[in-house]
Amino acid sequence: MNGKLNNQGFLAKAPEKLIEAERAKLAKAQEKMAKIEESIAALNK
């Protein structure tokens, strides 16, 4: 999920705006994942 943000070459060369966009994408994906996990937990009750 956070491949580019773990890549030191990407972080060293990428413009700050691009890095921020990747961090925002990661945060959104993590938020979606948390909601999905909550839904699964609710279904398992």
Which DSSP string do the residues of 14-32 spell out, in sequence order? S-HHHHHHHHHHHHHHHHH
Among the listed residues 12, 4, 8, the one whose alpha carbon sits nearest the alpha carbon of residue 29: 4
**Structural domain boundaries enclosing 36:** 3-43
Written as one letter, the residue type at 35 is K
pLDDT of residue 2: 79
Q: pTM score > 0.85 for this model?
A: no
Query: What total of structural domains would you count in the chain?
Result: 1
Quote the CA–CA distance of 23 and 11 in Å, as a whole number: 11
Quote the CA–CA distance of 7 and 1 in Å, as a whole number: 12
What are 1-45's pLDDT values in tens digits? 678 899 999 999 999 999 999 999 999 999 999 999 999 999 998
